């Protein structure tokens, strides 16, 4: 596998191609190094460790079969906003395998204003190995508008399914900070 920025693997899109996740830089949406305000997808954001203080890890297979949770998150562009300092920018859904899922809010503003796909949507990305801690190919699995959901079937090789739902997006904050309720 080719080595790229920060030893990241490629970022594939919904079509399954290696370079087609245009929600982030490693999907090759821009063809010059000096243009575009775009961040990395949820898996690469987790791997790079820049936002370690704003990560959340969920371990659904360690919970009861009727387990559920709800949380708010913000996009990376709002990482430094004081009113959201307790909200995650990257969420890992641990599958007890090397192929985990990552959730982010792809807020299209500021440092992420030039992304080519899924503006202001919740994105779900799966890595093909490395638990999101080391170089691996990732694939965009879903982009969710408010009220849309995505089911991860047979999580971790079990008979359990996990559904991620983008409940709502709060656009009313006077600072321009949008929050996704997942």
- Under 8 Å between Cβ of 166 and 145: yes
pLDDT attached to residue 85: 79
- Report which of 19, 5, 22, 13 is spatially closest to residue 108, judged by C-alpha positions: 22
Q: What is the pLDDT of residues 43-90, one digit of tens each?
A: 778 888 888 898 999 999 999 988 989 888 888 778 788 777 788 989
Q: Which helix (H) or strand (E) covers residue 45, if one does?
A: helix 42-48
163 has a pLDDT exceeding 70: yes
- Under 8 Å between Cβ of 169 and 58: no
pLDDT attached to residue 82: 72
Triad 60, 119, 97: Cα angle to 5°: 25
Segment 82-99 shows an average pLDDT of: 87
Q: What is the pTM of this model?
A: 0.84
pLDDT range class, residue 139, cuts 50, 70, 90: confident
- Report which of 104, 102, 112, 62 is spatially closest to residue 87, judged by C-alpha positions: 104
Higher pLDDT, 31 or 42: 42
pLDDT attached to residue 1: 44
| DSSP structure class, residue 4 | -
- Under 8 Å between Cβ of 56 and 50: no
Structure tokens given for 46: 């987790």
Answer positive or negative: Cα dihedral of 127, 128, 129, 134: negative
86 CB burial (10 A radius; 0-12, 13-18, 19+): exposed
CA distance 43 to 63: 23
Segment 93-107 shows an average pLDDT of: 90
């Amino acid at each position: 596998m080719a080595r790229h920025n920060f030893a990241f693997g490629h970022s594939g899109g919904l079509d399954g191609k290696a370079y087609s996740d245009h929600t982030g830089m490693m999907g090759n949406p821009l063809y010059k190094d000096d243009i575009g305000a775009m961040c990395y997808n949820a898996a690469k954001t987790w791997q790079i460790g820049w936002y370690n203080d704003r990560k959340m890890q969920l371990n659904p297979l360690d919970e009861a079969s009727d387990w559920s949770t709800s949380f708010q998150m913000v996009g990376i562009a709002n990482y430094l906003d004081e009113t959201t300092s307790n909200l995650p920018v990257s969420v890992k859904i641990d599958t007890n395998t090397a192929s985990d899922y990552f959730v982010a809010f792809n807020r299209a503003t500021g440092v992420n204003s030039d992304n080519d796909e899924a503006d202001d949507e919740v994105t779900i990305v799966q890595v093909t190995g490395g638990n999101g801690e080391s170089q691996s190919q990732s694939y965009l699995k879903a982009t969710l508008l408010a009220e849309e959901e995505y089911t991860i079937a047979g999580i971790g090789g079990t008979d359990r399914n996990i559904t991620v739902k983008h409940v709502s997006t709060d656009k009313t904050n006077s600072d321009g900070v949008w929050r996704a309720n997942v």
